[in-house]
Amino acid sequence: MENLNEGIFFKKAFDDHLEVENTNSSFSGLEFNGEHSTIKIDLPENLYYHVDVDVEYGNIDMIRDEFELNKHVEKNSTLTLLGKKKGTPDSAPIIKVKGKVVNVDIEKKS
């Protein structure tokens, strides 16, 4: 997916590979629940957002020094991460990912 103008929501995904190259100011969030999938999303540097990840046998790649983490637990094969980009208001979009064998890559686009 090249451009994402609002939000995207996957309720039950399997073996999907989602790549978002561009978002705009009306981005309302991403919600993904699935298995055996990868998500790559490029976000503008000036976009503030929350992150809620709970995956088993998964990983999240992001620039962690830009985040305030409320919860970060890696136990056995489970990763739970809850936080927001520094300065994010409560009303900002949320990237929410749940599942098994799901890898998430959040990159900033200059």
Residue 32 pLDDT class (50, 70, 90 cuts): very high
Contacts of 7-14 with C-beta under 8 Å, sequence gap 24+, read: 7/31, 7/93, 10/34, 13/37, 13/99
Residue 79 pLDDT class (50, 70, 90 cuts): very high
pLDDT higher than 80, residue 52:
yes
Q: How many domains does the chain divide into?
A: 1
What backbone phi and psi angles, to 5 degrees, belong to 15?
55, 45
Domain that holds residue 7: 3-109
Region 41-63: mean pLDDT is: 92
pLDDT higher than 60, residue 101:
yes
What backbone phi and psi angles, to 5 degrees, belong to 90?
-60, -30
